[in-house]
Amino acid sequence: MKIYPEKLAARLGQTLDKVYLVAGQEPLLIEESCDRIRAAARAAGVAERLVLEADARFDWQQIFSATETGSLFASRRLVEVRLPTGKPGRQGGAALRDWIKQGGDDILLVKCDDWALASERTAWAKALDKAGVYVPCWKIRPARLPAWISQRMAARGLRVDSQTGNFLVRRLEGNLLAADKEIERLAILYSGTQPRLEDVRAAVADNARFDSFRLVELVLARQPGAALRCIRGLLEADTAPPLVVGALARELQAVGGFQALTKTMPARQAFSKLGVWPGRQQALADAARAFSPSIVRQALARLSQLDELSKSSSSDDFWVGLERLCVGLAAGRPEYLAA
d(CA 321, CA 173): 23
pLDDT at residue 325 in the model: 93
CB hemisphere CA count around 196 (13 angstroms): 3
What pLDDT, in 10s, does the model give residues 206-241? 554 557 778 888 898 888 988 888 888 788 767 788
- Residue 58: strand, helix, or coil: coil
Radius of gyration of the chain (CA): 22
Count of CB atoms situated within 10 Å of the CB of 264:
8
pLDDT at residue 103, as a whole number: 75
| Res 300: pLDDT | 93
Q: Quick one: fold of 219-337?
A: Zinc Finger, Delta Prime; domain 3 (1.20.272)
The whole-angstrom separation of Cα 71 and Cα 74 is 6
Q: Which residues of the chain have pLDDT under 70?
A: 66-74, 173-174, 204-210, 237, 279, 313-315
Instruction: Report the chain's terminal Cα–Cα distance, integer Å.
Output: 54
The arrangement of secondary structure in 5-137, i.e. its CATH architecture, is 3-Layer(aba) Sandwich (3.40)
pLDDT of the residue at 279: 67
Q: For position 145, what pLDDT does the model report?
A: 85
Q: What is the topology classification, in CATH, of domain 142-206?
A: Helicase, Ruva Protein; domain 3 (1.10.8)
Per-residue confidence (pLDDT) for residue 192, from 0 to 100: 78
Q: So where are the chain's domains?
A: 5-137, 142-206, 219-337
C-alpha distances out from residue 163 to 146, 196, 198, 206, Å: 9, 9, 11, 20
